[in-house]
Amino acid sequence: MKRTPTLIAAICLVLLMGCEPRSPSLPDYLIGVWRTSDPKYAGRFLQLAQDRVIFGTGAGSVSIHPIRKIATAPQADGILYTITYTNDNGQEYRLSFVHDLEHGGVIWFKNQKDILWKRANR
């Protein structure tokens, strides 16, 4: 009978481990390097990975941020993605963009609809 509490504890531990929340991840069609032809962003890029956002900030420097949360919402012109990510100090930021399938799968930032970003590794 001494084994019963140990066995129950082991079963509970296994069940709890299976309930662990999964890390947010982006769909495959968004994964990759995105660039725009807009001169304001010459030498810059946005790279989306399964679990992080990488900003190419020019002159070969990059800024890498882990993704904490991903929210989606259907829009008339595509799917709105809002990615919550953190900086090195743990401060949260949000990146909101629309993935527009009707115009070849481009993305545009919610606050810059006129600047289209295309995936570079297609």
- Please name which of 108, 102, 109, 106 lies closest in space to residue 119, comparing C-alpha atoms: 106
Domain assignment present for residue 44? The answer is yes
Domain assignment present for residue 7? The answer is no
Answer positive or negative: Cα dihedral of 26, 27, 30, 32.
positive
Taking only the tens place, the pLDDT of each residue in 57-102 is: 988 899 999 999 999 999 999 999 999 999 999 999 999 999 998 8
Domain assignment present for residue 14? The answer is no
Q: Which helix (H) or strand (E) holds 14?
A: helix 3-18
Domain assignment present for residue 4? The answer is no
CB 67 within 8 A of CB 26: yes
Assigned token pair, 3: 């084994």
Domain assignment present for residue 16? The answer is no
Domain assignment present for residue 114? The answer is yes
Range of the domain at 35: 24-119
- Number of domains within the chain: 1
Taking only the tens place, the pLDDT of each residue in 12-54 is: 444 444 454 556 789 999 999 999 999 999 999 999 999 999 9
Answer positive or negative: Cα dihedral of 104, 110, 114, 119.
negative
